[in-house]
Amino acid sequence: MSPVATKGRTKEASATSQIVADENTRKIVRPTTVELVTTAIRQRILSGELAPGEVLRQEALADELGVSRVPIREAITRLTGEGLLTNVPHKGAYVAELSIDEVKETFDIRLRLEPWIFSEAIPRISEAEMGKAERLINEMDNSDSAVWGQLNWRLHETLYLPAQREITLQMLRVLHDRSDRYFRFQVVQVPIREQSHEEHMALVDACRKRDAALGAKLLEHHVKTAAEQIMSVVEAVVTR
């Protein structure tokens, strides 16, 4: 096992270093060192442990995670591609700043993709997948804000997977990762959590009714509402 998983301090890497079974293929998957390092750094960004504008110290990270600088550099390349890092030649990488324009563009794209893929998934979704979605919704109710965004993506992924649109799903995975760091500002508010619960349950109910048109309409409203809430919170943060 990679030494990343042996550092007690990096419990997020330890958790992902376990051998896991893909829920669809049942194949055993062993994460690579680069994947473990990427996950560890990503979670520090999304949780706020690495603050916007903070410079990544490659040597310190390598020592802390128990790896060489090679997987650190590859992780930086990947996270730059995801928009979580900004890499400046000859200066290094730093955590991307919070951006109102980024939030708006991210949700504009989501509004164009998610209602469509959800409507494609509804006729194919199974009872087992709907049950999993409900369990994730219940888990989100009492989750810490640092992991709420991850659970939110797992929920949406569960609802979209039956559409069998892998390219679109990959794009949405990146967009949700970019949104995740903003969710932690939003979900600390109880009324927002309760509203999100009701909206998510309505999506599952549309699946049970096999009503693709209703599902697309509900999801469009859900994404628009989330965009408005996050935009208002981010505007307040960046103007402090």
Token code pair at residue 108: 């504009």
Average pLDDT over every residue of 195-203: 95
CA dist 159 and 154 (Å) reads 9
Q: What's the pLDDT at 147? A: 78
φ/ψ (deg, to 5) at 94: -140, 160
Burial zone of 117 (CB within 10 Å; 0-12 exposed, 13-18 middle, 19+ buried): buried
CA dist 178 and 14 (Å) reads 23
| Strand-pair partners of 21 | 28
CA dist 150 and 146 (Å) reads 8
Asked if residue 47 and residue 87 are part of one domain, the reply reads yes
Q: What's the pLDDT at 228? A: 87
Q: Are 40 and 12 in contact (CB under 8 A)?
A: yes
Confidence class of residue 21 from pLDDT cuts 50, 70 and 90?
very low
Asked if residue 123 and residue 180 are part of one domain, the reply reads yes
Q: What's the pLDDT at 61? A: 93
Q: Which of 47, 73, 95 delimits the end of a domain?
A: 95
Confidence check: pLDDT of 219 > 70 = yes
pLDDT in tens, 137-188: 999 988 876 678 889 999 999 999 999 999 999 999 989 887 777 766 555 5
Asked if residue 224 and residue 142 are part of one domain, the reply reads yes
Asked if residue 47 and residue 60 are part of one domain, the reply reads yes
What's the predicted TM-score (pTM) here? 0.66
Asked if residue 186 and residue 131 are part of one domain, the reply reads yes
Average pLDDT over every residue of 200-228: 96
Asked if residue 137 and residue 187 are part of one domain, the reply reads yes
Domain count, the chain: 2
CA dist 197 and 200 (Å) reads 5
pLDDT in tens, 75-113: 999 888 877 899 888 889 999 887 788 889 999 999 999
Confidence class of residue 234 from pLDDT cuts 50, 70 and 90?
confident
Asked if residue 78 and residue 106 are part of one domain, the reply reads no
Asked if residue 15 and residue 89 are part of one domain, the reply reads yes
Tell me which residue range forms the domain holding 34.
Answer: 3-95
Least trusted range by pLDDT, from 46-60, 155-169, 181-195, 208-222? 181-195
Q: Which of 95, 129, 148 delimits the end of a domain?
A: 95
| Residue where the block lists tokens 């109102």 | 100
Burial zone of 109 (CB within 10 Å; 0-12 exposed, 13-18 middle, 19+ buried): middle
**DSSP structure class, residue 55:** B
Alpha-carbon distances of 47 from 39, 63, 141, rounded to whole Å? 12, 21, 18
Q: Which of 41, 72, 95 delimits the end of a domain?
A: 95
Asked if residue 64 and residue 136 are part of one domain, the reply reads no
Q: Could you give the residue ranges of the DSSP H alpha helices within the chain?
A: 11-16, 33-47, 58-65, 69-81, 100-121, 127-141, 145-160, 166-186, 190-209, 212-238
Q: What's the pLDDT at 111? A: 96
User: Over pLDDT 90: what percentage of the chain?
Assistant: 52
Q: What's the pLDDT at 4? A: 54
Asked if residue 87 and residue 112 are part of one domain, the reply reads no
User: Over pLDDT 70: what percentage of the chain?
Assistant: 81
Asked if residue 181 and residue 110 are part of one domain, the reply reads yes
Confidence class of residue 200 from pLDDT cuts 50, 70 and 90?
very high
Confidence check: pLDDT of 17 > 60 = no
Asked if residue 205 and residue 114 are part of one domain, the reply reads yes
Domain with residue 41: its CATH number is: 1.10.10.10
Domain with residue 214: its CATH number is: 1.20.120.530
